[in-house]
Structure 1
Amino acid sequence: MPSAPLALPASQAIVPAASLTEAARGYLVAARSERTRREYARDWQTFTSWCAARSHPSLPTTPEALCLYLTFRAQSGRKVATIERDLVAISQAHLAASLPSPRHPLVLEVLKGIRNTHGVAPSQKAALLPPQLARCCAALPETPGGIRDRALLLFAWSGAFRRSEVVFLNVEDLVFTDAGVEVLLRKSKTDQQAKGQRRGIPFGALPATCPVRALQRWLTTAAITTGPLFRAVNRHDQVAAERLHPCTVARIVQRAAQLGGIDPSSVAGHSLRAGLITAAVRSGKSLPSIMAHTGQRSVATIQRYVRSAGDVFTDNAASNLGL
């Protein structure tokens, strides 16, 4: 006698296919950061507009159309990295539509040719090292805006924070201790799953450039006890309730650099993170300790800073060989 079908509890019932598809689509979206999704959406819109103007198919596209588009982008002066991202965005759109990848061998050969013809070393902003950072901080005015900028520069530098990381911190993410301040970084570029990372920011040796003292002064000046850590300050020195936008960090760095006698076009928000890593390498800090502090998972990434930490004659392989 055949057994009766097993009745599953409601909590274990099979999920309808339509719901599963929608849930899977949601997870597919969540696999990328919000910034990446915005960039891909913009790249996809540019591609579809180009296709529409020339009567080329966009979804699915053809190898011929995609080769023409990548060539158009290259001849329009777009950087190789931008063109590579274009292809990723177009591929992601096809993936989301359950269509075959457009990365045809012909497309990849055209992209290789573009790299060989237009490929250049990526331009990098200068790292802000301790002497330059101290000069920038000393030049800032003693106003609420200047006090905020000084705290942001020193705190972001000491924590090696990316600009998106530092502006999304809240007061609740900080714990002040006798050694400094412990920061809970809830999510980062290398931690999209939001497992969280704790970073310790120690007291500085010099009061004028101590990140912990600068941060405490900013919180006291702005009367901030909860919510966003770094906030907008208007021209009347009034502190807003909303947090800073990530793009504002670059402007703060460049404004401080100009006040400190540094070419503002040579620095950006990443100059703070790069400065800490470069200074740590120069001082002989171990790679594991640097990676633990910065949250970087790739030794190759740190090695780029190792190479830039000294000039071409420091520890030169051709020196002292008997010639």
Structure 2
Amino acid sequence: MKKIEPILDPNEIKDSIALFKQGNVDLDAWSTLTNNLYSRNSLLSFQNDWITFVNYCREVNVSPLPAAVTAVRRFVEHAAKTRKAASIKRYVITISLMHRVHSLPDSTRHREVRYTLNRLYQEKSDDAGQANAFMLSHLQALTAKLESSEKLKDIRDVLIWTLCFEGMLKRSELAALPYDAPRETDEGFVLAVDDQLIALSDDAKAQVEKWMTASGIFDGPLLRGINKHGHLSDAPMDHSSIYRVFRRAATELGLEGSLTFSGQSPRVGASQELAEAGKTIKEIQHQGRWKSPAMPAQYVGNKTASSEAMAKFKRKIEKD
């Protein structure tokens, strides 16, 4: 965690607390709060995690800022029912950050919360296991089943599955996509992810165009939440929403109970498809934007290469 100077002026603290207790605060405010030290993707993660916590606090009628020790502990226990250890850890980091920046006692440091976290981390120690692969055949079956639907949620979800698979997107990258990330260039239809342009298929292009027409989006985030009434949110999708989209994929395919897809599943499946097509680990690493070849090597079943790559990557970090 980067060193962020806390707010010290009592009036500024009061105004900032009032703002962030609303939950959905724009990224400019987050950037100012964190002294402009974080990237857009990191700010999006903070924003999404904080919205999740504030929404929970509203449901149980407690204050999110400052948050009582019991409120934080119960939130952690609630999140643990559906979220993995990494997500819970990220939630706690965000809650801790918000309290420290506002010069408030950090409830996450209380022994009651730490004990609960340690217990949950032990129970979820297998979370690091590899996600089930979301393969091209899965994508094709889902597209065939839902492509004629005019429901906004169906159009969005098919686009999410397609972009995540073809672009090998991380959840944070998916959530951060602006409305103009898919674009036409001299080289064809592409998806802009940070400073990289990823080629998309004609099918993906058609799905993007269908989504833009159905949603009416012309600014802001490309992919957004949809409530139970079918109304589109202005806010980007959070990690919980993305998780539900991939859980839905298994249900639609009749695989619920035998396979569990997550936001990581398309990266696993795409890596395996590329390996089958003859791509090298280095080429897969580049296409998936990994810093090390360790993960793609693990995904395609090359455990020796994965172990060697991870050891090399760790040595590089220690040297740096």
Interval of TM-score (by shorter of Structure 1 and Structure 2): 0.5 to 0.7
Of 125, 135, 140, the match for 1:129: 135
Of 147, 161, 171, the match for 1:153: 161
Once the two structures are superposed, the pairs formed by residues 97-116 of structure 1 within 5 Å of their partners are: none
- Deviation string 1:88-121 (CA, Å, 9 cap, x unpaired) is xxxxxxxxxxxxxxxxxxxxxxxxxxxxxxx768
In the alignment, does 2:204 pair up with 1:211? Answer: yes
Query: What is the distance in 1 between the residues matched to 2:169 and 2:262?
Result: 13
In the alignment, does 2:178 pair up with 1:185? Answer: no
Contact 2:177–2:222 (CA<8 Å) still a contact in 1?
yes
Query: What is the distance in 1 between the residues matched to 2:284 and 2:220?
Result: 29
Of 189, 199, 217, the match for 2:197: 199
- Deviation string 1:116-167 (CA, Å, 9 cap, x unpaired) is xxx7683222010111222223333441210111111101211011111112
In the alignment, does 2:110 pair up with 1:49? Answer: yes
Larger Rg: 1
SS in 2 for 1:232: strand
SS in 1 for 2:217: coil
Of 237, 241, 245, the match for 1:248: 241
- Residue 78 of structure 1 aligns to which amino acid in structure 2? Y
Contact 1:163–1:269 (CA<8 Å) still a contact in 2?
yes
Of 147, 151, 172, the match for 1:164: 172
Once the two structures are superposed, the pairs formed by residues 72-111 of structure 1 within 5 Å of their partners are: 76=119, 78-79=121-122
Query: What is the distance in 1 between the residues matched to 2:237 and 2:117?
Result: 33
**TM-score, scaled to structure 2:** 0.57
Query: What is the distance in 2 between the residues matched to 1:120 and 1:258?
Result: 23
Of 224, 230, 252, the match for 1:259: 252
Rate the CA distance shift 1:48–1:234 in 2: closer, same or farther, 3 A. closer
Query: What is the distance in 2 between the residues matched to 1:138 and 1:247?
Result: 26
Query: What is the distance in 1 between the residues matched to 2:247 and 2:283?
Result: 29
SS in 1 for 2:230: coil
Contact 1:152–1:215 (CA<8 Å) still a contact in 2?
no
- Deviation string 1:231-259 (CA, Å, 9 cap, x unpaired) is 22334433333322232111011112201
Query: What is the distance in 1 between the residues matched to 2:126 and 2:260?
Result: 18
Residue 226 of structure 1 is matched in structure 2 by 219
Q: Which has the higher helix share?
A: 2
- Deviation string 1:192-223 (CA, Å, 9 cap, x unpaired) is xxxxx21322325xxxxx22221121112212
SS in 1 for 2:196: strand
SS in 2 for 1:225: coil
**TM-score, scaled to structure 1:** 0.56
Residue 94 of structure 1 is matched in structure 2 by none
Superposed CA RMSD: 3.6
Alignment identity in percent? 20
Once the two structures are superposed, the pairs formed by residues 9-48 of structure 1 within 5 Å of their partners are: 30=38, 33-34=42-43, 35=45, 38-40=91-93, 48=109
Query: What is the distance in 2 between the residues matched to 1:242 and 1:42?
Result: 20
Mean Cα displacement is larger for which, 230-239 or 125-134? 230-239
Query: How many residues in Structure 1 have an aligned counterpart in Structure 2?
Result: 217
Structure 2: segments with no counterpart, 5+ residues: 9-32, 46-88, 98-105, 304-320
- Residue 150 of structure 1 aligns to which amino acid in structure 2? V
